[in-house]
Amino acid sequence: MSALKPENWVIQFVTRARVGHMATSTKTGRPHAVPVCFAFDGQTLYTAIDNKPKRIVPEKLRRARNIMENPKVCVVVDLYDEDWKKLRYVILSGRAEILQKGRERRHAISLLRMKYPQYRKMNLHRRPVIRIVPRNIVVWKYQ
């Protein structure tokens, strides 16, 4: 499958967004959605399972277990404003993979640290990174 080529405004909007909402599901379809910090390079979206307090180890989090069972995911990035002429959203649907090591994972951590100063102080090198390759992008903005 060839790489998607989103419009420039879509790339800029997603790249600049500070938070998105990632939906995963079990192999039987039970949904789970969480807010995520992420980096987007125009083709691939990365989000770390970081060191913010969690009750369980990263690999046991629902989002990680869901991805291992069912790699189909969706991330919604949106903007709400009382002036509805500013409303917009982008939905990126695709396949996720959990990266534990390697060059791409190091690249993802670098992108995340450039975007979020908080990540510069966290030891992300021992944490998993979720890689999402969009296969479909749905966009909407007030025209």
Which residues, in sequence order, are bridge partners of residue 33?
23
| Cα–Cα nearest to 29, from 70, 61, 75 | 70
Estimate to the nearest angstrom the gap between the alpha carbon of 15 and the chain centroid: 11
| Cα–Cα nearest to 76, from 95, 53, 92 | 92
Name residue 49's amino acid. I
In CATH terms, the fold of domain 8-141 is: Pnp Oxidase; Chain A (2.30.110)
In this prediction the pTM is 0.91
The 10s digit of each residue's pLDDT in 85-135 is: 999 999 999 999 999 999 999 999 999 999 999 999 988 888 899 999 999
Query: Taking every pair of C-alpha atoms in the chain, what is the biggest distance, in angstroms?
Result: 44
The 10s digit of each residue's pLDDT in 80-94 is: 999 999 999 999 999
| Cα–Cα nearest to 94, from 34, 30, 137 | 137
